[in-house]
Amino acid sequence: MDSEQVRAHWRNWASKFGTALGATTRTETAKTLEIDALARRMCMIGLGDMPAHVLEVGCGNGLNCFGLAAQFPRMQFHGIDYTAEMIDAAREAATANGFRDRSSFRIGNALELSKTPGLLAQYDVVFTDRCLINIAPVDLQMRAITGLAAKVRKGGHLIMIENSMATYDRQNHCRALLDLPARTPAAFNLFFDETRILPHLETLGLEVEIEDFISLHDLMLYVLAPAINGGTVDYDHPLVHAATRLNIAVSAETSSAFGAFGQGRMFVCRKP
């Protein structure tokens, strides 16, 4: 898909699903794990009780911002997305959820942050969640990351939950071990090539830690449950729900406890 087709895809999903989860993912359990990982990290970096300013780039219909706003009453959220229909849905949901005073949503492109009016010069946290994988080629992903990092204050964090080819390949290896065919990324996605992205983060002077927050869930959803039900990915399988609960409970005690097998990883980058 070229970049216009990718945009059209998100316009379609936003128009079809509006404020519902389906606008941005098929997997409710993965969304639960993403918000849990972000919230846990906010506490780990000392912002749990702080009046912090947080920017989500590629915010979709705002579910991450609302999930975090509910847990961190002193935080202020800005969300931008290049899909106008997503921003309309986020604004509608902000009103419906009672978060209008602590969240605001604007149309903006991850590749042109400086052209988005109304943003702060810098934030305590800038984060993405499956946004940058919609940008291709990898040089443009890196350009976007440079722009995101510039919006982070010294001592602040850029947090990216993005899909990685490295862990996706490991997950596919597990499928092969159980005689399942490899899955392929959606046509509108370019998963992170860590051999390019990680050195780029280093050139930006960022201190990087990677958390694998979703491995148990993804192994259950994409490998183990399909292995016993004819290859079907069943988003509502009871074991996927149980794996989600266990993944969250263990993550609270031990980071990345289940290895690096999720298609998403959390890249936590501190600006020294």
Ligand X SMILES: C[S@@+](CC[C@H](N)C(=O)[O-])C[C@H]1O[C@@H](n2cnc3c(N)ncnc32)[C@H](O)[C@@H]1O
Positions that interact with ligand X (CB under 6 A)? 10, 24, 58-60, 63-64, 81-83, 86, 109-111, 129-131, 134-135
For residue 31, which of 44, 23, 154 has the smallest C-alpha distance? 23
Nearest to ligand X of 10, 168 (CB atom): 10
| Least distance between ligand X and beta carbon 16 (Å) | 13
The string of DSSP letters for the chain reads --HHHHHHHHHHHHHHHTTSGGGT-S-HHHHHHHHHHHHHHHHHTT-TTS--EEEEES-TTSHHHHHHHHH-TT-EEEEEES-HHHHHHHHHHHHHHT-TTTEEEEE--GGGGGGSTT--S-EEEEEEES-GGGS-SHHHHHHHHHHHHHTEEEEEEEEEEEEBHHHHHHHHHHHHHTTPPPP---TT---B-HHHHHHHHHHTT-EEEEE--SHHHHHIIIIIHHHHTTT---TT-HHHHHHHHHHHHHHTTSTTTT-S--SEEEEEEE--
The residue among 135 and 224 lying less far from ligand X, judged by its C-beta, is 135
What is the smallest separation between the CB atom of 258 and ligand X, expressed in angstroms?
Answer: 21
Smallest gap from residue 12 Cβ to ligand X (A): 11
Question: CB-wise, 37 or 63, nearer to ligand X?
Answer: 63
Nearer to ligand X, 133 or 224 (CB): 133
Which residue from 159, 125, 147, 155 is spatially nearest to 55, judged by alpha carbons?
Answer: 125
Cβ 112 to ligand X, closest distance in Å? 8
- Nearer to ligand X by Cβ, of 24 and 247: the residue is 24
Q: Which residue is nearest to ligand X (CB)?
A: 60
In the bound complex, what is the minimum distance in angstroms from residue 58's beta carbon to ligand X?
3
Q: Which is nearer to ligand X, 58 or 156 (CB)?
A: 58
Closest approach, Cβ 50 to ligand X, in A, equals: 22
